[in-house]
Structure 1
């Protein structure tokens, strides 16, 4: 098990994914985007509370139709504001990115796993213990995030669809006008 984690960390650091290390269906998140499916291996070994929160919200349908409200070229795509980001019910462009869910914020679960291309992390406010429902997918390495944000997963396939998410203006901190969305989110173990 320790060897598997070490190999996984090395591959993630290099921005690679090794098929034999694929997550079990219970820990596999599938996001359907306009350009295809994105398969994410969730990492309960790194962040059990955060992964459980994501799975709870997915199973409630909370991430369906939620905007990628902040997308910065060469950095990351952020989504998951289930309070103000639902583009089919109550979307608020001015507030998207400021909300969470009806569940309480989570205590930080920082790790040594680096933020490289394809890593999925939890968004938070200045308080390290303020992550709730929002998450982001990295376009490129960002060592300044290492050890300061919670890593919850790694894209296994579908980065080409992530790369096609509409970008926001850099001078507007990546806020996207008429954003793309998560069409559907599901856990692979669940019946469709």
Structure 2
């Protein structure tokens, strides 16, 4: 990695059963893998599962000291109950990040896939393979961790500067779709 300022980015792929996390360093145009993994919240009561997510993300932040965080936005699926539960897991993750004063960026899965694969409708396997290549990993990362790393890569590639807004997305009702 070059000797320019290094920015550490934490990516989060929220989930109630499994929340993926991934950390990368960016120096200039170079990206370097730091760490990734999955937080498993178990099968208990919802408040306890949310506590596991909150505590684990807080610990990751305290250990790796990222400069910023990125989280995937929730999509609405056919099961409203699943969407609500996912939203609560996402809320626990965001709460941990903002409680430790991290700035948080948000991207849709479509935006992340577009930035990493070049196709907003790419399959999970394509995302995993591109994350492996972009970070020069020895093996393909687990799907949830790969999605979290992809979110961090999306942010590192300048998505927050509006570059994705002109690549196959359109504005509808004030929102990027």
> Given the two structures, how large is their TM-score scaled by the length of structure 1?
0.24
Higher helix fraction: Structure 1 or Structure 2?
A: 2
> Given the two structures, how large is their TM-score scaled by the length of structure 2?
0.25
